[in-house]
Copies of this chain bind each other. A is one copy, B any other.
Amino acid sequence: MKKIITISREFGSGGRSIAKAVAKELGYEYFDVEMMEQLAQTKGIDSNEIEVQKVEGAGTTFFGSLLAGKKFKENLNLEDALWTRQRDMILDIAERGNCVIVGRCADYILRDYKEALHVFIHADLEYRMERIVRLYGETNETPERRLIEKDRRRAANYRYYTDREWGLSKNYDLALSSSKLGHERCKDIIVGIARAE
């Protein structure tokens, strides 16, 4: 039985909804740390905004509790500070176990956990294009451009924090194409492995 499942995924691949379905079926808690990284990457964010988040969210949400508490070290920039908090939070969640964690560095942070199953979900460009337009609407940029930009950013971010390459099979116990296999089957494979032994 795997007590911890990390799911990293390409934008638009449906990895997050597969992760939720896995958590539901196993009765595990679901954690989504993607929002942290999105915030860190948003232009114009500054410590004033962090203060607001602290007041509004502290202790009540996952995101708020992540930002609450200790002051950032002087020599860390905001992104690094968020990364450090996120890492600590992921380690805390993992200690409790019975969890599904979505976020693209969780596989790295928990790489030495024997009880963890590390999964990567990817999909064809066409599949992801159709999906992001349907789920997130149109923007000024073409869907293809949005995906390429996002892939590049995720790869760079992952490399910076982990010194590994984004999407390499060897970083995961299991990598699945959701466009080829379908969401239901991806969920079944992950649940099947988690339940084994």
Identify 18 residue pairs between A and B in the complex whose beta-carbon atoms are under 8 Å apart, listed by A's number: A120-B169, A120-B175, A122-B169, A122-B170, A167-B168, A167-B169, A168-B168, A168-B169, A172-B175, A173-B177, A173-B180, A174-B175, A174-B176, A174-B177, A174-B181, A181-B193, A185-B196, A189-B192
Main secondary structure of the interface of A (DSSP, over half): mixed
Chain B residues within an 8 Å CB radius of A172? 169, 175, 177
Chain B residues within an 8 Å CB radius of A196? 185
Give A21 to B77 CA distance when docked, in angstroms.
52
Question: Given A168-B168, A169-B122, A169-B167, A185 and B177 touching (CB < 8 A)?
Answer: no
Closest to A114 in B: B180
Please give the distance in Å from A90's CB to the nearest CB on chain B.
Answer: 20
Chain B residues within an 8 Å CB radius of A189? 189, 192
Please give the distance in Å from A62's CB to the nearest CB on chain B.
Answer: 27
Please give the distance in Å from A185's CB to the nearest CB on chain B.
Answer: 7
Closest to A125 in B: B170
Binding site for B on A (CB under 8 A): 117, 120, 122, 167-170, 172-177, 180-181, 185, 189, 192-193, 196
Chain B residues within an 8 Å CB radius of A173? 176-177, 180-181
Give A167 to B175 CA distance when docked, in angstroms.
11
Give A174 to B167 CA distance when docked, in angstroms.
12
Question: Given A185-B193, A196-B185, A170 and B170 touching (CB < 8 A)?
Answer: no
A122-B169, A169-B169, A172-B177 given. 15 additional CB < 8 A pairs?
A120-B169, A120-B175, A167-B168, A167-B169, A167-B170, A168-B169, A170-B177, A173-B176, A173-B177, A174-B176, A174-B181, A175-B175, A185-B193, A189-B189, A189-B192
Please give the distance in Å from A103's CB to the nearest CB on chain B.
Answer: 17
Chain B residues within an 8 Å CB radius of A176? 173-174
